Structure 1
Amino acid sequence: MPQWQDYSTGERIKILRGREMRQADLAQITGLTVATIQNAEQNKRHSLPTLLAIADAFGVDLSVLLGQQAPRRAMSQDDRRMVRNLSRAVHDTAAGILPGDVEAAALADLQAATGRCWDLYWRGRYAEAGTVIASFLTAAAARLHEQPVGEQAPALGVLSDAYRLAAYVANLMGARDLAYSAIGHAQLAAERAADGMRVALVGSGRAWVYLRDARLPEALTLAEKSASDIEPRFSRATPEELTAYGSHVNFAAVVASRMGDKDRAADFLSQSHATGARMGREVKAHGTLFGPVTATTQAVGVKVALGQTGAALALIDSIRDVSGLTEAARNRYAMDKAMAHADAKQWDASLDTLEQTLRSAPDWARHQAMPGVIVQKVGRASTARLRRVSELIGVPPGVHEYLPATRKTAL
Structure 2
Amino acid sequence: MPPNASIGNRNVIAALTLDGCQGRPTAMLSRAIRAYSQPMAAKLGDRLRDVRKRRGMTQQELARRSGVSLSLIRKLEQGERQDARLETVRRLAASLRVPTMRLVAESTEDGASIATLDQWAPVRQALTAPLRDAAELEEPPTVEGVRDALDAALPMFSSDRFTELGLILPPLLRDADTVAQLDPEGRAVRVRLLQLTGWLLTQTRQFEAAEGCLDAALDGAADRLQGAATVNTMCWLLLRQGKLSEARELATRWADDTEPRLSRATPAELSAWGWLLLRVSAAAVRDNRAGEAEDALRLAHSAAVAMGREFAPGEDFLRTFGPVTVALKRTENAMIIDRPDVVLRLAANVPAGGLRPTSNNRNRHLLDVADAHTKTRQYAEAVAIMANIRDASPQWLPNQRYARDILGRVISKRRTLTDDMRSLADTVGLPL
> TM > 0.5 between the two?
yes
- Residue type of the partner of 2:141? A
Could you tell me which residue of structure 1 aligns to residue 269 of structure 2?
241
Aligned to 1:313: 344
What is the RMSD of the two structures over their aligned residues, measured on CA atoms?
2.9
Task: Name the structure 1 match of 2:407.
Answer: 375
Q: Find the partner of 2:126 among 63, 74, 89.
A: 89
Note if contact 2:112-2:206 (Cα within 8 Å) is conserved in structure 1.
no
Q: Which amino acid aligns with 1:96?
A: L
User: Is 1:289 matched with 2:342?
Assistant: no
SS in 2 for 1:281: coil
Question: In structure 2, how many angstroms separate the alpha carbons of the residues matched to 1:189 and 1:253?
Answer: 27
Q: Share of identical aligned residues, percent?
A: 22
Give me the whole-angstrom Cα distance separating, in 2, the residues matched to 1:386 and 1:74.
Answer: 29
User: Does 2:390 match 1:362?
Assistant: no
Q: Which residues of structure 2 form unaligned runs of 5+?
A: 1-17, 38-109
**Aligned residue pair count:** 334
> For residues 90 and 305 of structure 1, do their structure 2 counterparts lie closer, same or farther at Cα, with a shift above 3 Å needed?
same
Answer yes or no: is the 8 Å Cα contact 2:111–2:207 preserved in 1.
Answer: no
2 CA distance for matches of 1:398 and 1:392?
Answer: 11
Letter in 1 for 2:124: S
Give the 3-state SS of the residue equivalent to 2:202 in structure 1: helix
What is the CA–CA distance in structure 2 between the aligned matches of 1:308 and 1:118, rounded to whole Å?
36
Distance 1:101 1:295, change over 3 A: farther
What is the rounded CA distance, in whole Å, between the counterparts of 1:308 and 1:367 in structure 2? 25
Query: What secondary structure does 2:260 align onto?
Result: coil
2:157 matches 1:129: no
Are 1:145 and 2:110 an aligned pair? no
CA deviation profile, 1:230-257 (whole Å, cap 9, x unmatched): 2221111122222222222222222222
Query: Kindly tell me: are residues 66 and 141 of structure 1, through their superposed partners in 2, closer, same or farther at Cα, counting changes over 3 Å?
Result: closer
Q: Tell me which residue corresponds to 1:186.
A: 217
Contact persistence 1:133–1:162 (CA under 8 A): no
Structure-2 residue corresponding to 1:16: none
Offset of 1:315 from its aligned partner? 0.6
Q: Who is 1:45 aligned against?
A: none
Q: How does 1:222-301 map to 2 (within 5 A)?
A: 222-285=250-313, 286=316, 287-301=318-332
Gaps of 5+ in 1: 1-51, 400-411
Between the aligned partners of 2:282 and 2:152, the Cα distance in structure 1 is: 27
1:347 aligned to 2:379?
yes
2:234 matched to which residue of 1? Answer: 206
Counterparts of 1:121 and 1:362 in 2: how far apart (Å)?
14
- Name the CA distance, whole Å, in 2 between partners of 1:290 and 1:105: 32
In structure 1, distance between residues paired with 2:416 and 2:133: 54
- 1:74/1:366 contact within 8 Å kept: no
Distance 1:318 1:217 in 2: 32
Q: Following the alignment from structure 2 to structure 1, what is the Cα–Cα distance between the partners of residues 213 and 231?
A: 12
Query: Aligned partners of 2:403 and 2:181: how far apart in 1?
Result: 44
Q: 1:309 corresponds to which letter in structure 2? A: P
User: CA separation in 2, counterparts of 1:83 and 1:172?
Assistant: 12
SS in 2 for 1:321: coil
Equivalent residue for 2:140, pick from 76, 99, 103: 103
Choose between structure 1 and 2 for higher RCO, CA contacts under 8 A separated by at least 6 residues.
1
Q: Which residue of 2 aligns with 1:338?
A: 370
Partner SS, residue 312 of structure 2:
strand
Pair 97,312 (structure 1): closer, same or farther in 2 beyond 3 Å? same
Moved more, 114-123 or 254-263: 114-123
From 188, 194, 198, the counterpart of 1:157: 188
Contact 1:204 1:223 in 2 (8 A): yes
Partner of 2:247: 219
How far apart in 2 are the matches of 1:113 and 1:397? Answer: 37
1:318-345 CA distance string (max 9 Å, x none) = 1241562143333222111111222233
SS for the counterpart of 1:134 is helix
The answer on whether the counterparts of 2:281 and 2:292 sit within 8 Å (CA) in structure 1 is: yes
**Distance in 2 separating the partners of 1:216 and 1:266:** 16
Report the Cα distance in structure 2 between the residues aligned to 1:366 and 1:323, rounded to whole angstroms: 28
2:264 counterpart SS class? coil
CA distance in structure 2 between the aligned counterparts of 1:292 and 1:353, rounded to whole angstroms:
23
Say which SS state the counterpart of residue 187 (structure 1) adopts: helix
Asked if structure 1 preserves the Cα contact closer than 8 Å seen for 2:195 and 2:217, the reply is yes
Q: Deviations over 1:76-109 (max 9, x none)?
A: 85x54542111111112xx424684562322x55
Q: Counterpart of 1:310 in 2: which secondary structure?
A: helix
Describe the shift of the 1:280–1:385 C-alpha distance in structure 2 as closer, same or farther (beyond 3 A). farther
Once residues 257 and 155 of structure 2 are traced to their aligned partners in structure 1, the CA distance between those partners, rounded to angstroms, is 26
Q: What's the offset of the Cα at 1:217?
A: 0.4
Counterpart contact for 1:113–1:136, Cα < 8 Å: yes
Q: 1:56 aligns with which of 21, 34, 39?
A: 21
Q: Does the C-alpha gap of structure 1 residues 101 and 170 become closer, same or farther in structure 2, counting only changes over 3 Å?
A: farther
Match of 1:172 in 2: 203
* Cα offset, 1:160, TM superposition: 1.9
Superposed displacement of residue 111, structure 1? 4.2
Q: Is the 8 A contact 1:354 1:389 kept in 2?
A: no
Amino acid corresponding to residue 62 of structure 1 in structure 2: T
Question: Take 1:116 and 1:300, find their aligned partners in 2: how far apart are those partners?
Answer: 33
